[in-house]
C-alpha cells in the first residue's frame, strides 16, 4: 500500500508526505481500534459462556435437592392416605431425582472444550441425557401401572385424604416453581437437558392436579376403585410425555434439519444474491445448543480466490451476528 513506501522513493512534496503520514497513522489507529473491539467481543462472549454454564449447573443442583425434598413430602402423603394414586405420584419423583442427576452430569460434560477426539465439542451429551431421561420416565409409568393393577380389584381403604392432599399440594407447588426456574434457565442457556427436565416436572404438576380431583370425587362417592383408575390415567400421561422426549432426542441425535436456522440462512443469502449465481446442498444439524450448517455457493468463474473468500467471510460473519449459535461453512464452486 502506498502509505508504507519510503518517502524518499516517491516524488512528493512535503505537504503530500505529511498527508500520507497522517493517513497512515489514521488507518493504523482504526485497525488497532477494530482489533480492540474484536478482542473485547471475544472476552464478552467467553464471559457469557461461563455465566451460562454456571447458571445451568446451579439449576441442575437445585433440581436434585428439590427433587429429594419433594419425594419425601409426597411419600408422607402416601403413608397418611394409603392411596396408590399418591404413591404413583411419589414414584415419579424418584425418576425426577435420577433425571436431574443425569442432567447435572451432562451439563458438566457438555462444557468441556473440543478436543482431538471430539472436535465439534461435547454438547451432544445433553441430547443423550434427554433420551435416557425419556426412557426413565417410561419405566416409571410401567411401575405405576404394576402398582395400580394390584389394587384394581382389591380396593384398599383410604385415610385422611384431605390432609394427604394438602401435603401433596405443598410438594406440587415446589415442583411448579422448580419447573418454571428450569424453563427460564433452559431458554436463556439453550440447554436441551434442562428443557427436558422442566417439561417433565411440569407434566408431573398437571398429572398431580388430576389425582387430587379424582381422589376428591372418590371421597365424595365412596368409589375406591377410582384410586387405581387415576393411577392408570397418570401412567398414560407419563408414557406420552416419555415417548415425546425420546422421539425429540432421537431426532436430534439423528441430525434432524434445523428449519428455523435454515430459513435465516436463506434470508441472508437473499440479501446478497447479486454477488453470486446460486447456492445448493444446504445442510444443518444441531449439536447441543449449537447449529452447524454448510452449503455450496456457485460464483462467477472469473472471480479471484480472494474475492470469493471475502464474500464467504462476509456471509458467515453476517449470519453469526444474527444467529450467534450457528456456524456456517461455505464451499465455493464455479457454475455448472
Per the CB < 8 A criterion, the answer to whether 126 and 110 are in contact is yes
Q: Residue 3: pLDDT band by 50, 70, 90 thresholds? A: very low
Handedness of CA 182, 185, 187, 189 (dihedral sign): negative
Crossing angle for the helix pair 226-253 and 192-221, to the nearest 10 degrees = 170
Say whether pTM exceeds 0.75: no
Work out the average pLDDT over 253-266.
Answer: 91
Burial of 141 (0-12, 13-18, 19+ CB in 10 A): buried
β partners of residue 328: 293
Burial of 260: CB neighbours in 10 Å, binned 0-12, 13-18, 19+ = exposed
Structure-block grid coordinates of residue 47: 464471559
pLDDT, tens digit, 9 for 90 and up, residues 295-314: 999 999 888 999 999 999 99
pLDDT of residue 282: 95
CA distance 99 to 178: 14
Tens of pLDDT, residue by residue over 189-215, are: 767 667 777 877 887 787 777 777 777
What angle is formed at CA 91 by the lines to CA 54 and CA 105, rounded to 5 degrees?
Answer: 25
pLDDT tens-place string over residues 52-102 = 667 777 888 888 899 899 999 988 988 888 877 788 778 778 777 877 888
Residue 9 pLDDT greater than 50, yes or no: no
DSSP assignment, residue 4? Answer: G
Helix (H, G, I), strand (E, B) or coil at 42: helix
Angstrom distance (rounded) from CA 37 to CA 31 = 10
Tell me the per-residue pLDDT of 32-55, one tens digit each, with 9 for 90 and over: 655 555 455 444 444 555 566 677
Question: Residues 6 or more apart from 65 whose CB is under 8 A from it?
Answer: none
Mean pLDDT of the chain: 79
C-alpha distance from residue 18 to each of 4, 13, 29, 173, 209 (Å):
13, 9, 16, 74, 81
Q: Tell me what pLDDT residue 1 has.
A: 42
The set of long-range contacts for 44-51, using a CB threshold of 8 Å and a minimum separation of 24, is 45/324
> Which domains does the chain carry?
50-253 (1.20.1510.10), 259-333 (3.30.70.1350)
Average pLDDT value for residue range 7-26: 51
Rg (CA), the chain: 30
Amino acid at each position: 500500500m502506498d502509505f508504507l513506501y519510503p518517502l524518499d522513493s516517491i516524488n512528493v512534496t512535503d505537504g503530500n508526505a505529511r498527508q500520507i503520514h497522517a493517513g497512515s497513522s489514521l488507518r493504523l489507529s482504526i485497525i488497532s481500534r477494530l482489533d480492540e473491539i474484536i478482542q473485547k467481543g471475544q472476552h464478552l462472549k467467553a464471559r457469557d459462556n461461563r455465566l451460562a454454564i454456571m447458571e445451568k449447573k446451579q439449576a441442575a443442583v437445585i433440581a436434585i435437592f428439590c427433587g429429594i425434598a419433594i419425594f419425601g413430602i409426597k411419600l408422607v402423603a402416601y403413608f397418611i392416605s394409603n392411596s396408590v394414586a399418591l404413591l404413583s405420584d411419589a414414584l415419579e419423583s424418584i425418576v425426577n431425582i435420577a433425571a436431574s442427576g443425569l442432567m447435572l452430569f451432562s451439563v458438566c460434560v457438555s462444557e468441556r472444550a473440543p478436543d482431538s477426539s471430539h472436535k465439534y465439542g461435547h454438547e451432544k451429551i445433553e441430547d443423550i441425557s434427554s433420551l435416557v431421561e425419556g426412557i426413565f420416565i417410561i419405566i416409571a409409568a410401567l411401575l405405576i401401572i404394576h402398582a395400580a393393577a394390584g389394587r384394581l380389584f382389591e380396593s384398599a381403604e383410604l385415610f385422611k385424604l384431605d390432609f394427604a392432599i394438602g401435603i401433596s399440594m405443598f410438594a406440587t407447588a415446589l415442583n411448579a416453581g422448580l419447573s418454571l426456574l428450569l424453563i427460564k434457565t433452559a431458554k436463556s442457556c439453550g440447554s436441551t437437558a434442562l428443557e427436558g427436565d422442566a417439561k417433565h416436572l411440569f407434566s408431573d404438576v398437571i398429572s398431580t392436579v388430576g389425582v387430587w380431583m379424582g381422589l376428591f370425587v372418590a371421597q365424595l362417592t365412596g368409589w375406591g376403585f377410582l384410586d387405581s383408575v387415576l393411577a392408570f390415567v397418570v401412567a398414560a400421561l407419563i408414557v406420552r410425555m416419555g415417548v415425546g422426549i425420546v422421539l425429540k432426542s432421537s431426532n436430534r441425535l439423528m441430525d434432524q434439519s434445523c428449519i428455523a436456522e435454515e430459513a435465516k440462512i436463506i434470508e441472508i443469502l437473499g440479501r446478497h444474491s447479486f454477488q453470486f449465481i446460486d447456492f445448493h446442498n444446504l445442510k444443518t444439524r444441531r449439536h447441543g445448543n449449537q447449529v452447524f450448517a454448510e452449503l455450496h455457493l456457485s460464483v462467477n468463474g472469473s472471480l479471484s480466490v480472494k474475492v470469493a473468500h471475502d464474500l464467504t467471510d462476509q456471509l458467515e460473519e453476517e449470519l453469526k451476528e444474527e444467529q450467534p449459535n450457528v456456524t456456517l461453512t461455505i464451499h465455493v464452486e464455479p457454475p455448472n
